[in-house]
Structure formats: structure tokens, C-alpha cells
Amino acid sequence: MQRPPILRVQHLTKRFGNLTVLKRVSLDIYEGEIFGLVGASGSGKTTLLRTLIGYLAPEEGDVKFRYDYFVKRKQGKNKPLYASVYKQPRLARTLFGFGSQDPSFYKKLTVKENLMYFGSLYDLPRKALESNTDILLTLMDLKKAEDVLAGDLSGGMGRRLDIACALIHDPEILVLDEPTSDLDPLLRAHIWSLVQKINKKGTTIILASHHLSEVEAFCSRIAIIKDGKIIDVATPARLKTKYADSQEIRIQTYPGAYANIANALKQPGSRVFDIKIKGSELIIYSDQPHMVLHKLIHTLETLKEELIDIRVSRPGLDELFLRITR
């Protein structure tokens, strides 16, 4: 994969008034990736996507794209050329397709009319526009609905139309902001299979989501964003091993003075990362559960707590994610 990146995000800082929403964000995106941007609501995902496509201007930093994809190369030059999306807005517009979080199609136009309209914004020749429309109607399973008013589409179909509109000019990079939010699991799965199909046809994809467990199966790499800062970038497998070495011990005791148990376990050097009381359970997080169990049994004896239930498990990815980003 170590070809030069197709996109280089360099130290982006974005403010809205006094609020700094992106804090020196840097990322390299490689051709052919499905790159996931994962963060809690309000962490800056939408702002980052809008800034990296050139729609919002940053206060600091730059986003550079492979300029040589658009210009005729002189012979003998193999070095990649980069240009700023802010200095080449017209090329940036052809480079990216953007599917926003909220529908951007026109409800009073039919599915096909929407595609033709969005295509006309890119000065595509009539023939190319018609053939792209046809290819996308088929690819996105919208052929049967081509004459349906967009306002009458179901949620899943609307989402597919939005993605199709973002693809009408055949961009190198498709940027999708929470493409599966508010969809039921079956429709989500359908969107994911389409995203993979689009990717297999050669389009690089950058997408935002707030479910780590949902994107990890599909992304080549994932960046975790928290309060406008990228706190980690790794393959899903690496993220898992990095954060999933911690396990959770859930106990129930009687009479259940959990605060006292927690205090006794939270001693320095105890290998306890975190302790939570959830309903009738006390949950202890540790990377060394056997050490904690030893201490726990001793503590319960001392505090005269009777052990009613105990379970040790690896937390799911979403639980881990919440812990990383909390």
C-alpha cells in the first residue's frame, strides 16, 4: 500500500468563532482505501469531511491531492505532484463526491431527474451524463424507481439516491457522512455492500460513522477523532488488539457496598483501569484480570461481602470505543 497518498491532510485547524472544532488534524489517505472516521457525536467528523473536500476553509493547515491525476505528465517524471484543494477548487470538485448526513436530492424531481440535475452541475457532456446515470441506477438498485419522485422514496432508497448523486461525475474519492445512520440493520447491510461494490470499481472512500463496531468490518484503516483531535489511526485489527487487551470483570455481591469495594480495588499498581457501577453490577476493567481477581476475593472477605455472581469477558468494540473517546 505504500504508494504516495492520494490525499494529504496537513495540520488542519478549523474554528467557528471562539470554538476550535478541528485541532491540527493530519491524515494520509491512500488510493483504493475505505477509510473510516469514527468519533462520538460532536467530535468534529462532519466539519473535518467538509473541510477536507474544500467546502469549508480552515484557519490553518492544508489539504493536498494528487494533482498529476488531472494534468498531462511530461515524460520521465514519476514523482507525484500535489496541489491544495483550496487553491484548485474546480479540480477539487471533480476529485470528490460528497454524500452529506442529510438528504441533498430534490424531492420534487424523480430519481433519474435528480441524477441528471446533479450531473449537469459538473458540465458533463450529455452522452457521459446519460451513461453515468444509467450505470448508477443499476449499480445502486434504483433502476425500477427511476421515475419515482425522490420525495416518495423509502429511507434506504433515499440514501442510495444520495450516494448515486455524489457519484454522478465519477469522482476519484467518495466522501460519505454517516451513510447508514437511521437505517435498520438490513438496509445498513445493503448500503455497506454497495459501498464495497463502489470501492471495488476503483473509488477511494472516506466515511464517517459513530459506530466503531459497524465500520470495522469494512474499513482498511480507521481514524478515531475526539474533540477535534485524531487520537489514533490504525487498521481495525490493530485497534482491536491495542485496546481490547483489557477485560471486564462483572460482579454482584451482597449486601453490595460497591463504593467500598471500588475504593479497595483502586489502589496504585492494582492494574484496574476503571470501575463502574451499572445497575446491580460492579464492573471492573483491567488488563490483568487474574491479579484483580486475587485481590477482589480478598477484599470481599475483608468487607464481608458475599459473592453472588461473577463474569469475566472481553468488552465489545463499541464499549472499547466509548472508553477510548470518553
Ligand X SMILES: Nc1ncnc2c1ncn2[C@@H]1O[C@H](COP(=O)(O)OP(=O)(O)O)[C@@H](O)[C@H]1O
Of 65-94, binders to ligand X (CB under 6 A) are none
Angle subtended at Cα 39 by Cα 168 and Cα 311, rounded to the nearest 5 degrees:
130
Q: Can you tell me which of 43, 203, 209, 299 binds ligand X, judged by CB under 6 A?
A: 43
Is residue 322 within the footprint of ligand X (CB under 6 A)?
no
- Please state whether beta strands 60-66 and 7-16 pair in parallel, antiparallel, or not at all (unpaired): antiparallel
Nearest to 66 by CA among 28, 25, 33, 22: 28
Q: Can you tell me which of 3, 11, 26, 42 binds ligand X, judged by CB under 6 A?
A: 42
Return the number of the residue (45 or 64) whose C-beta is nearest Mg ion. Answer: 45
The DSSP string of 181-197 is TT--HHHHHHHHHHHHH
Selection from Mg ion, ligand X, none that 19 binds (CB < 5 to 8 A by kind) is: ligand X
Q: From CA 36, how far away is CA 198, in angstroms rounded?
A: 15
Return the number of the residue (2 or 41) whose C-beta is nearest ligand X. Answer: 41
Nearest to 267 by CA among 243, 245, 298: 298
- Please state whether beta strands 34-38 and 204-209 pair in parallel, antiparallel, or not at all (unpaired): parallel
The DSSP string of 254-311 is ES--HHHHHHHHT-TTS-EEEEEEETTEEEEEES-HHHHHHHHHHHHHHHTPEEEEEE
Q: Can you tell me which of 2, 18, 41, 78 binds ligand X, judged by CB under 6 A?
A: 41
Return the number of the residue (50 or 276) whose C-beta is nearest ligand X. Answer: 50
Return the number of the residue (20 or 246) whose C-beta is nearest ligand X. Answer: 20
Of 27-56, binders to Mg ion (CB under 5 A) are 45-46
Return the number of the residue (36 or 39) whose C-beta is nearest ligand X. Answer: 39
Would you say 284 and 248 are in contact if contact means Cβ atoms under 8 Å apart? yes
Q: Can you tell me which of 27, 47, 160, 239 binds ligand X, judged by CB under 6 A?
A: 47
Selection from Mg ion, ligand X, none that 41 binds (CB < 5 to 8 A by kind) is: ligand X
Tell me which residues touch Mg ion (CB under 5 A). Answer: 45-46
Tell me which residues touch ligand X (CB under 6 A). Answer: 16, 19, 21, 39, 41-47
